[in-house]
A and B are shown apart, each in its own frame.
Chain A
Amino acid sequence: MQLELLSRGGGGQQDPHSRAGLATLTAGLLDEGTRDSSALELAARVEKLGGYLTSGADWDVAHVSTGMLSKHLEHGLQLLAEVATLANFPPAEVARLQRQRQAELQRRLAQPASLASIALLQLIYGETPYGYSLLGTTKTVASISRDDILDFHRRHYGPADAVLIAVGNFDLAQLQALAATAFSGWSGSTRVDAVDLSPLPRSEPTIEIVDRPDAAQTELRLGHEGPPRNCADYAALRVLNSLLGGKFTSRINLNLRERHGFTYGAHSRIAERLGPGPFMVSTAVATDAVARSVTEIRGELQRIREEPVVGTELDETKGYLLGVFPYSLQKLDGITSRLGDLAVFSLPDDYYTALHDEIDGVDSRQIGEVARKYLHPDRLAIVAVGPAEELAPQLEPLGPIRIRPALEVDSDQPPSPPPSGPHD
């Protein structure tokens, strides 16, 4: 079975800029000690039963999850209730987790794929919340005090915004009774602050090279802001993205991989967040093929905006999205995740049936409309993580470029965009 408690106020969008990483640190500390148990006692209790206990946060929600055999339902619920209601953030654990976070931030500086995504989000969102990593930066994490964490927890966690998801082999009435008992003592009010999540305005392409002089390959990202998850065009956007770069047989992957051999794989994604998260194309390409890859990807974005999707391609894409749904429900975590989305995005219980029909009804005209409305190949932010010496001459013809050393990607201040105007 899997039990998950979601706190809708605990997501990273609530981080103050100067305290980026606060939401994920707070969530990460929930299972590091309570009024009744130390971190090790909590771990020993769940691991003795063969289970796990984890906690964390994404942009829109914080979660505590436990998994174990269904016969341990009561233990699991008690454990979740204890960390949800009695977490007390022991000072030694706060300090330890901050040290661990700092080491993680350092480790990430050597991961080209992470560097590329972080640098791209900095370019798109600047100093707005989505420009910061959920983990924060070296400087913001160092500035977070235990009081910040206690305050964040008090303001953003409570029964009013919490949702319990339980998936497993147990009796529903028994679950309801046990959950009611386990969480009976939880009280308090919370709030979700309204946050401005708008990205930086940008009208031209912005190209950045993150220099890793000896890199064997180049990590490439292209993107710009996308729509919020709950926008009215969601179904059409799902189909659009799948056809463009979401599945193996998408245009971008077949172009870069099967036609040109530039890469092992390329894909695109439209983030699903309450705010306007990124549209991002990701790939790792041979360094001598970076400019050609950028041109091909931009070309695919242009093509889907300008040329109607004809033939069987649209039906094949819809067939994939509709047919693959049961596949996503095979495992506990898949079911938990589908149910969690209903809670986070305030969707009705019969939503997936309605979505099925909506996807089924998407036509070629809608694809063209949403492509023109949401894809902007003329003002993409572009990041290439690789050897600058080889990359700069290739990318200069495409627009003004800026070069940053890899170690500077964790800077506290996300960079402002490079000067606009044609490059000469």
Chain B
Amino acid sequence: MSTTDHPATRLPIEEHTLGNGLRVVLQPDSTLPLVAINLWYHVGSKNERPGRTGFAHLFEHMLFQGSEHVGTNDHFRYVQQVGGVANGSTWYDRTNYYETLPANQMELGLWLEADRMGFLLPALDESKLENQREVVMNERRQHVDNQPYGRAMERVHELLYPPGHPYHWPVIGYMEDIAAATLVEIEEFFRTYYVPDNAVLSLVGDVEPAAALAAIERYFGEIPSGGGIDKVTAEPVQLAAEQREVLADDVQLARVYLAFPAAAFGEPEWYAADLLSTALTGGKSSPLYKDLVYTRELAQDVVSYVLPLEIGSTFIIVATVKPDIDPQEVEKVIGEHLEKTADAPPQQELERARNQLLTAHHDGLQAVEQRADLLSLYTTYFSDPSRLDREMESYEKLTGEDLARFGRTRLVPDNRVSLHVVPKE
């Protein structure tokens, strides 16, 4: 066990590992009578394979369909009737499940999570899978196929990552793969990945750590470990030449997507990319936003960000093009700004971006469930929950030259995907 002092909020973090390999992180905080329970399984769409995509996400849905001692819709029922909130989400590298409950309901949340970790299979059946396949196909229609620009990020990743690379396909999966998922595969997936030694359980809130740990041991301690999981790896991506595509969609305004491969989340280069992105587009006074949206009025909006991915990331700039403006012109202006990233940005832009990230960091620590999710994240990826407190140091260490190196080596035309989404016809 280790305890780290929290300089920002002065809240201690405790770390434990149960005999079956389940890692447990606790942060007591009695500000409000709440507890956030957050469980990460280290499995996501990157553990899938071509032709069988969307599986991790469909599986997440199945975890809300009841387990041996919890009826079909009772997970949400039990949580909501005491004033709790619950959900789950799937991402490239992980799947999370969480409940925020009145603190005196901590054991309810632990029991629900333990029951589906330890006793899911007896409750699974074909009719539940059939229902959730339909629900997920409708989720895909709502968020991707019937959404303006909905296919764009999917296409960007298909172009940026080679076929077979674990980030090539979308997290929600392709329609035909979702439709084809079978119960046997679901069971196999569960046995492989939903095991205590592939999970991190974080609790933040108005709980007494020793009592919480004892309860966790009681609910989770007897669930057997898994049989080991092969680590998913991939060669770093560097494009040999620019990949360009125009996608016609049911949209009114065109959009320009420029995407570049970047270092994995947690690497110094990732933080340089994040800081550079904030320097470029963080607010009305940032150079790219000001130029494109405010001064020249070529774009309706522009954003940039770097995805926090485990084995190599995506740096992306997205600009919505004003009516009657050629997307090429927008791309050209972005290109001019990207050329300038080969040099260190002015000091005041660096300071502004650092302050914006600092404010965002504090903002993200307000809610117990966000903090619990971050503790699970740092533990899952880096085995180090104390990174929650030290995250800002990674930005403070960076110099203008670190950003320039990222700009020079990564943000070059040969190393990018350019996707234009344009109105149909």
Q: Which of A16-24, A106-114, A296-304 contacts B (4 or more CB under 8 A)?
A: A106-114
Q: Produce 1/0 per residue, A318-360, CB < 8 A to B.
A: 0111111111011110000000000000000000000000000
Q: Produce 1/0 per residue, B328-344, CB < 8 A to A.
A: 00000000000000000
Q: Are A47 and B135 in contact (CB under 8 A)?
A: no
Q: B351 an interface residue at 8 Å Cβ cutoff?
A: yes
8 Å CB contact of B283 from A43, A111, A284: A43
Q: A90 an interface residue at 8 Å Cβ cutoff?
A: no
Chain A residues 18-72 with CB under 8 Å of chain B are 39-40, 43-44, 47-52, 67-69
Nearest A residue to B84 via CB reads A323
With contact pairs A50-B358, A257-B135, A323-B84 given, residues A284 and B146 touching in the complex (Cβ less than 8 Å): yes
Q: Which residues of A contact B322 (CB under 8 A)?
A: 99, 103
Q: A316 an interface residue at 8 Å Cβ cutoff?
A: yes
Q: Which residues of A contact B72 (CB under 8 A)?
A: 258
Question: B interface, how many residues as a size bin?
Answer: 35 or more
Q: Are B83 and A319 in contact (CB under 8 A)?
A: yes
Q: A248 an interface residue at 8 Å Cβ cutoff?
A: yes
Residue pairs across A and B with CB atoms within 8 Å: the count is 166
Q: A271 an interface residue at 8 Å Cβ cutoff?
A: no
Question: How far apart are A333's CB and chain B's nearest CB, in angstroms?
Answer: 9
Q: Which residues of A contact B310 (CB under 8 A)?
A: none
Q: Which residues of A contact B290 (CB under 8 A)?
A: 40
Q: Which residues of A contact B367 (CB under 8 A)?
A: 330-331
Nearest B residue to A326 via CB reads B32
Q: A8 an interface residue at 8 Å Cβ cutoff?
A: no
Q: Whole-angstrom distance between the alpha carbons of A323 and B34 in the complex?
A: 10
Chain B residues 1-46 with CB under 8 Å of chain A are 32-34
Question: How far apart are A9's CB and chain B's nearest CB, in angstroms?
Answer: 27
Q: Whole-angstrom distance between the alpha carbons of A99 and B299 in the complex?
A: 11
Q: Are B131 and A261 in contact (CB under 8 A)?
A: yes
Q: Which residues of B contact A264 (CB under 8 A)?
A: 135-136, 138-139, 142-143
Chain B residues 250-309 with CB under 8 Å of chain A are 250-253, 282-286, 290, 294, 297, 300
Q: Whole-angstrom distance between the alpha carbons of A109 and B294 in the complex?
A: 23
Q: Whole-angstrom distance between the alpha carbons of A262 and B138 in the complex?
A: 7
Q: Whole-angstrom distance between the alpha carbons of A330 and B294 in the complex?
A: 35
Q: Are A247 and B80 in contact (CB under 8 A)?
A: yes
Question: A interface, how many residues as a size bin?
Answer: 35 or more
8 Å CB contact of A216 from B141, B252, B355, B360: B141
Q: Are A214 and B250 in contact (CB under 8 A)?
A: yes
Q: Which residues of A contact B138 (CB under 8 A)?
A: 217, 261-264, 284-286
Q: B366 an interface residue at 8 Å Cβ cutoff?
A: yes
Q: Produce 1/0 per residue, B122-144, CB < 8 A to A.
A: 00000000111111111101110
Q: Are A327 and B100 in contact (CB under 8 A)?
A: yes
Question: How far apart are B63's CB and chain A's nearest CB, in angstroms?
Answer: 14
With contact pairs A320-B83, A327-B34, A330-B34 given, residues A112 and B285 touching in the complex (Cβ less than 8 Å): no
Q: Whole-angstrom distance between the alpha carbons of A263 and B143 in the complex?
A: 12
Nearest A residue to B368 via CB reads A330
Question: How far apart are B249's CB and chain A's nearest CB, in angstroms?
Answer: 8
Q: Are B73 and A103 in contact (CB under 8 A)?
A: no
Using a CB–CB distance below 8 Å, which chain A residues touch chain B?
39-40, 43-44, 47-52, 67-69, 96, 99-100, 102-104, 106-112, 212, 214-217, 219, 247-249, 254, 257-259, 261-264, 284-286, 312, 315-317, 319-327, 329-332
26 residue pairs of the A-B complex, CB under 8 angstroms, read A40-B285, A47-B284, A47-B356, A68-B359, A96-B297, A103-B253, A103-B323, A107-B320, A110-B252, A216-B146, A217-B141, A219-B146, A261-B134, A261-B138, A264-B143, A284-B142, A317-B81, A319-B82, A320-B80, A320-B81, A320-B83, A322-B83, A323-B83, A323-B102, A326-B34, A331-B366
